Amino acid sequence: MIIIIPTVKESFKNLVANEQINHGLEFIKEDHKRTVEEQIQMTEIPAPPFKEEIRANNYMQRLKDLGLQDVQMDEEGNVYGIRRGTGQGPKVFISAHLDTVFPEGTSTKVTEKDGILYAPGISDDTRGLAEVLCLARACQAADINNIGDIIFGATVGEEGAGNLRGVKAFFSEHDDIDGFLSIDGPRPYQIVYLGTGSFRYTITYKGPGGHSFGAFGVPSATHALGRAVADIANLQTTENPRTTFTVGEIKGGTSVNAIAEEASMNVDLRSNDKDALNTLTDKFLAIVKKAAEDENNRWGSDQLTVTIERFGDRPPSSQSKDDMIVQTAFEAIQSIGKEPILSDPSSTDANYPMSIGIPSLALGRGGRAGGTHTLDEWYDPTDAFIGVQKNFLTLLGLVGVEGISQPLLAKRNE
């Protein structure tokens, strides 16, 4: 738990007592059906990794229809528009991610049974996309005079090999953002304020290959790979900070009676601590190189080589639970009568801006969900509007509302 400072308490006291703000909260409740309908519509627009463009164009049009200013798609494929503030308050970017984990060709048709929605991607993160739109509509319906600027948008490349490419590109092009909120996560009242870092590698061994009998005596790519996997499996890591590894995919060889010419593996290394992740990486890379050396030495050869490619880099990142952005989200959840959950570290879009010093959170979506990243993913929209309401209050608490509350989030460059 955290101790909420008086400034935050006073701000939310003013917000929840205000008729205009309550109109916005009531609008979100009344907008529930439309929000779910949009969620279904967008789920049925496939957004495989690196192929989010069709859904992105659809989302961009929805942002335009909301009357946001400067709606655009950047070169990476992110889409966003701005609701300008009335003063010199902080600028906050609030988004969800467009991409899903499911490959091209996966059916995303939504079905319903007993009030539960089923489809790949119905929750992660299509529900987040729908909630961002609802938040923008609520600001419009309640005629909110936000002091700081709000950028409403959607990012690409959050999942898997996407490597946070969308959010990295956005922040490389915008140096005036003071805070970031990602609507992502299955628990409505969770606050993710710490980021789990990960490095992902493709390791490829190549040798001369040959017939299993006729060419016996040359180094084998699969044997080298096996040596590496065995030693990786014996690595020792710490529980605190939590540090993990896995060999996720293996490929290689052409036939049962052929010495493998090529073999590869994809490896995931994770930690909540930068130093621990770097230490694990050093040990891992030493194993990978030694496996090639050992396989060559076994046959008195120098023909086998190893190629190391890092295709994933999500930085570990952290903030204090007493930071203003965390306090604001915490009090927003309490203001609607719910119990906030300070989540364990996770890997989200918030990792990157957090790692470069921008106050950032991932806030849970409304409703209930399960089967994430499976074909049986499901979503229960019962009372899901409550999750949107707490994000509405969080957002307004950060940027401030003219005549009601001053911004709780500071401008970074002042």
Residues 77 and 166 grouped into a single domain: yes
Q: According to the model, what pLDDT value does residue 31 have?
A: 98
Residues 32 and 140 grouped into a single domain: yes
Neighbours of 78 (CB within 10 A): 27
Residues 102 and 191 grouped into a single domain: yes
Establish if 411 belongs to a structural domain.
Answer: no
**Residue where one domain finishes, among candidates 314, 338, 368:** 314
Q: According to the model, what pLDDT value does residue 201 have?
A: 98
List Cβ neighbours of 167 (8 Å cut-off, separation of 6 or more): 78, 95, 155, 157, 158, 180, 182, 349, 352, 353
Residues 101 and 140 grouped into a single domain: yes
DSSP 161: G
β-strand 79-83 against 305-314: which pairing, if any? Answer: unpaired
Residues 36 and 157 grouped into a single domain: yes
- In whole angstroms, give the CA distance from residue 147 to residue 239: 44
Residue 329 Cα distances to 53, 186, 412, angstroms: 32, 16, 19
Domain encompassing residue 212: 197-314
Establish if 414 belongs to a structural domain.
Answer: no
**Residue where one domain finishes, among candidates 292, 314, 336:** 314
Q: According to the model, what pLDDT value does residue 160 have?
A: 86
Q: According to the model, what pLDDT value does residue 1 have?
A: 74
Establish if 144 belongs to a structural domain.
Answer: yes
Establish if 90 belongs to a structural domain.
Answer: yes
Establish if 409 belongs to a structural domain.
Answer: no
Coarse DSSP helix, strand, coil percentages of the chain, rounded to the nearest 5 percent: 35, 25, 40
- In whole angstroms, give the CA distance from residue 319 to residue 297: 48
Number of domains in the chain: 2
Residues 207 and 174 grouped into a single domain: no
Establish if 407 belongs to a structural domain.
Answer: no
- Residues of the chain where predicted confidence (pLDDT) is lower than 50: none
Residues 374 and 348 grouped into a single domain: yes
Domain holding 309: CATH number? Answer: 3.30.70.360
Domain holding 163: CATH number? Answer: 3.40.630.10
Residues 22 and 63 grouped into a single domain: yes
Establish if 412 belongs to a structural domain.
Answer: no
Residues 359 and 219 grouped into a single domain: no
DSSP state letters, 212-263 = TTTTBTB--HHHHHHHHHHHHHT----TTTTEEEEEEEEEE-S-TTEE-SEE
Residues 154 and 233 grouped into a single domain: no
Residues 118 and 225 grouped into a single domain: no
Establish if 404 belongs to a structural domain.
Answer: no
Residues 174 and 57 grouped into a single domain: yes
Contact (CB, 8 A) for 29 and 76: no
**Residue where one domain finishes, among candidates 280, 314, 348:** 314
